[in-house]
Structure 1
Amino acid sequence: MKFHTRKWVKPEDLNPNQTLFGGKLLAWIDEEAALYGAIQLENKKVVTKFMSEINFLSSARQGDIVEIGIEPIKFGRTSLVLNCEVRNKMTHETIITVERIVLVNIGENGKPAPHGKTQIEYVKDRLENN
């Protein structure tokens, strides 16, 4: 799994227990998944359709650095299915896992549209081929 984004846990990210608020972490995951999908599918109009069971394994505290890992599992006709793990950057302890995040590629009409992708593509490879 590749870890693309790091976040520093700040006071405004905490819950009353003084640990990272789960809703904040899920927002970070949703944003990271959408960015990953937009880059892979070459379309900024990508939406989250589904998130599978979310498993909180440990917590993060103020000052911790967390990193978000995203990995593609499957390319559908209009969708992209991802796997996610968030871990503590310093200890590598897993904080949360999400087995499946389903993103849908949206066309100009606002409806699901085929994206034509079948495998991971890297931006550097796209640039070399143009």
Structure 2
Amino acid sequence: MRFLSRRLVMPNDLNYANSLFGGRALEWIDEEAAIYAICQLETNCLVTKHIGEISFESAALQGDVVEFGLETKKVGRTSITVTCLVRNKATKKTICLADDIVFVQLDPNTRLPIPHGKTLEGLKKQTQAEIDTLNM
């Protein structure tokens, strides 16, 4: 799993217990997973179809830096399924895991699902080529 993005937990991200509000975490997960899927499929005409199980493991507090780990789980004809792990940057403690986040590519005119032409193997090669380019 590659950790690609980070956010700082600010006062307006907190719930009544002064920890990261679950709804804000889900908003961030949907956005981060969408950006990841857009980059994988090389199109920005995607919609979130489904978010499966979400498991909250520990709290994030004001001032914590959280990071988002993403990986492709499955590739369908018109869809891509990703997993997102949110963890505390400093402690590496899992904050939450969102599994089976499904995005579907749409035709921009008809708004109907269209094939994206990608495969899981092809995306793995694409990712490795990007890593090699960045010398990571």
TM-score w.r.t. structure 1 length? 0.92
Question: Aligned to 2:12, what secondary structure does the other structure show?
Answer: helix
Question: Aligned to 1:122, what secondary structure does the other structure show?
Answer: helix
Question: Aligned to 1:87, what secondary structure does the other structure show?
Answer: strand
Distance of 1:116 and 1:26 partners within structure 2: 29
Paired position in structure 2 for 1:47:
47
Paired position in structure 2 for 1:80:
80
Q: Which runs of 5+ in 2 are unaligned?
A: none
Paired position in structure 2 for 1:122:
127
Q: Which runs of 5+ in 1 are unaligned?
A: none
Equivalences, count: 126
Question: Aligned to 2:60, what secondary structure does the other structure show?
Answer: coil
**Identical-residue share of aligned pairs (%):** 48
1:87-126 matches, cutoff 5 A: 87-108=87-108, 109-119=110-120, 120=123, 121-122=126-127
What is the deviation of 1:122?
Answer: 3.5
Paired position in structure 2 for 1:65:
65
TM-score w.r.t. structure 2 length? 0.88
Q: Deviations over 1:69-116 (max 9, x none)?
A: 111011100000111110000000000011210110111221111000
What is the deviation of 1:53?
Answer: 1.4
What is the deviation of 1:124?
Answer: 5.8
Question: Aligned to 1:116, what secondary structure does the other structure show?
Answer: coil
Richer in helix (by share): 2
Distance of 1:56 and 1:11 partners within structure 2: 20
Question: Aligned to 2:101, what secondary structure does the other structure show?
Answer: strand
Question: Aligned to 1:16, what secondary structure does the other structure show?
Answer: coil
Q: Deviations over 1:2-48 (max 9, x none)?
A: 01110000001001110000111100000011111111111101111
